[in-house]
Amino acid sequence: MKFEIVKSGSGIGRKNVLGVALYENFTPEDLDTLPSDIALPAEIYIQRENFRAKRGSVLAAPLANEDTRCVALAGLGPRESAKTDDYRLAAFNIVRTAASRGASSVSMSIPGASDRLISRAIGEGAALACYRFEKYRAPDEDDRFAAPETAEILDGDAKALSEGFTIGECQCYARDVANEPGNVINPGTLAETANDLALEKGFKIKVFDESELAAKGMNALLSVGKGSAAPPRLIHLEYAPKSPIATTAIVGKGITFDSGGLDIKPADSMLTMKGDKTGACVALGVIKAASELKLPIAVHAVIGAAENMPGGNSYRPDDIIRAYNGKTIEINNTDAEGRVTLADTLAYACGLKPDNVIDVATLTGACAVALGSTTAGLFTNDDKFGAEFLAAAATSGERFWKLPMDDENLRKKIKSPVADVVNSAGRYGGAITAAMFLENFVEKGRPWIHLDIAAADFVKEPYSYYIKGATAYGLRGIMAWLLDLASRITDR
């Protein structure tokens, strides 16, 4: 999508769809950016439909005009409480209206668009509005959906719009990979996908197969993948700008399908388990976005990829496994496999000596119980790092909530009488004890954040700017933090 900036006073042009975002209690004057012959029909539709511009609402007013097919009015909610995400959602609703009509162009008047963060949000919303995953469906001849080629923005910030659109597109890329079924994406084909990205962007890449994993002592990752016909892989991509000002490692859980292993899941619980690789997909999307935005921060994307299947060679309850960093793990639940793969992956990432590590994982149902389906859990061994991430991510529209890691009674639950740690401490406080387990494989003193996105990674019913399927939750939050980090360091 190509963005065009129009300055105040000139009004928005006659594109296929004209979009105006409005606060609640708006007045007719708020439609002044529309051409006069279009503003009046829009006012009539507003009155007829009793449109009040509540947050997330949208009204499409069709027009009998050879240039303009319709006006799309998007609600921002009350002016005094409007957040960055409200502008992102308004842009989504306007562009989605245009796309659903097959419009090749759209104009948008969104208050506050001159603000850098709001323009970035508009760009993200525009990209998310163009997303569908329908590659396996036969074409519908009545379907007119098409992403607009051009978007005209009144008083927008061109750089921030482009930045936001890039981030949104990279989130859509991550969603595409996450939405692929298990018969298409397994550990080997995920490595091929990563290799394709590396070739496209010029990344360094290493892929460790099962023999190399065994030689390195990555027995945790190997054990989880033993029951599958598709053996596990550790995937390491590196974006290396000239003279980087910092280095970060993004670690992704890449369970390409999770049956639960020998502790097999009920049938209904296996649905959507193709999405158990979403953390890995987020890692791919982040390194792609960092490269396309030419961030001055080196980024390592490290993915532990495995398929958790039952079989004659599967790992078992009561197994004791020695991980890459030498610690031993007692297995008491083969369906708590993600943390086992992350044990080796985190230890490997710390060995790269980055300034900090962020892991992203669809880890626990307990996190969903605690926070609901639209908030991810955040855990950290460094409160300053956690506070900086939360402050930056607040502009991304992704919700994170910091959960504690200082409960020593809970910590005792991951102690094992026969090994260093046990892989599951039961239901109560399950998200916290999972994070405590992971901390055993993070190098002491290395700032680390764990994002448990299990609650928000897969949408069963559309909401906000997410359609059914994978969300790649966490990508925009991480990118907001990376952009903020780059700004803070270069401004010193």
> What does the block give as tokens for 423?
């892989």
For residue 67, what pLDDT is reported? 82
Least confident residue range of 7-16, 30-39, 307-316? 7-16
Continuous segment of H or E residues that includes residue 222: helix 219-225
Say whether 168-490 and 2-156 share the same fold.
no
Nearest Cα to Cα of residue 453 among 223, 267, 283: 283
Least confident span in 4-13, 48-57, 138-147, 448-457 = 4-13
Kindly indicate the confidence band of residue 31, based on its pLDDT and cuts at 50, 70 and 90: very high
Spell out the domain ranges in the chain: 2-156, 168-490
CATH class for the region spanning 168-490: alpha beta
The values of phi and psi at residue 101, to 5°, are -100, 5
pLDDT over threshold 90, residue 60? yes
Percent of the chain with pLDDT over 90: 94
Closest CA to 198 of 282, 279, 288, 297: 288
Determine the pLDDT at residue 143.
Answer: 93
Q: What is the mean pLDDT of residues 452-461?
A: 92
Q: Is 111 exposed, middle or buried (0-12, 13-18, 19+ CB in 10 A)?
A: buried
Neighbours of 287 (CB within 10 A): 24
DSSP state for residue 371 in the 8-state scheme: H
**Structure confidence at residue 492 as a pLDDT band (50, 70, 90):** low
Share of the chain above pLDDT 70, in %: 100
Q: What pLDDT, in 10s, does the model give residues 178-214?
A: 999 999 999 999 999 999 999 999 999 999 999 999 9
pLDDT value of residue 15 = 93
pLDDT tens digits along 316-371 = 999 999 999 999 999 999 999 999 999 999 999 999 999 999 999 999 999 999 99
Pick the closest to residue 226 from 311, 299, 154, 158 (CA basis): 311
Q: Is the pLDDT of residue 10 over 80?
A: no
How does the average pLDDT of the chain come out, rounded?
Answer: 96
Banded model confidence at residue 167, pLDDT cuts 50, 70, 90: very high
Residue in 201, 265, 322, 446 annotated catalytic: 265
Which of the four pLDDT bands, split at 50, 70 and 90, describes residue 491? confident
Active site residue 204: no
Q: In the CATH scheme, what architecture does the domain 2-156 have?
A: 3-Layer(aba) Sandwich (3.40)
Structure tokens at 162: 């482009």
Residue 465 reports pLDDT greater than 80: yes
Cα–Cα distances in Å, from 13 out to 36, 76, 461?
A: 12, 22, 36
Structure tokens at 315: 């790992």
Per-residue pLDDT reduced to its tens digit, 105-129: 999 999 999 999 999 999 999 999 9
Give the DSSP letter string of 131-154. Answer: ----TTSPPPTT------SEEEEE
Task: Please give the pLDDT value at position 151.
Answer: 97
DSSP conformation class of 396: T
The pLDDT value given to residue 199: 98
The residues that bridge with 448 in the sheet, in sequence order, are: 357
Given the residues 120, 274, 339, 399, the one annotated as active site: 339
Secondary structure letter of residue 235 according to DSSP:
E
Q: Is residue 299 scored above 80 in pLDDT?
A: yes
Contacts by 437-440 with C-beta closer than 8 Å and gap 24+? 437/339, 437/343, 438/339, 438/342, 438/343, 438/346, 438/359, 438/379, 439/381, 439/405, 440/327, 440/343, 440/414
Q: Which residue type does 48 have? A: R
Quote the Cα angle for 257-215-324, to 5°: 65
pLDDT at 8: 87
Question: For residue 102, what pLDDT band results from cuts at 50, 70 and 90?
Answer: very high
In the predicted model, what is the mean pLDDT of residues 477-491? 94
Taking the C-alpha atoms of residue 148 and residue 133, their distance in angstroms, rounded to an integer, is 17
339 counts as catalytic: yes
CA–CA separation, 251 vs 246, rounded Å? 17
Cα separation, 182 vs 164, in Å, equals 31
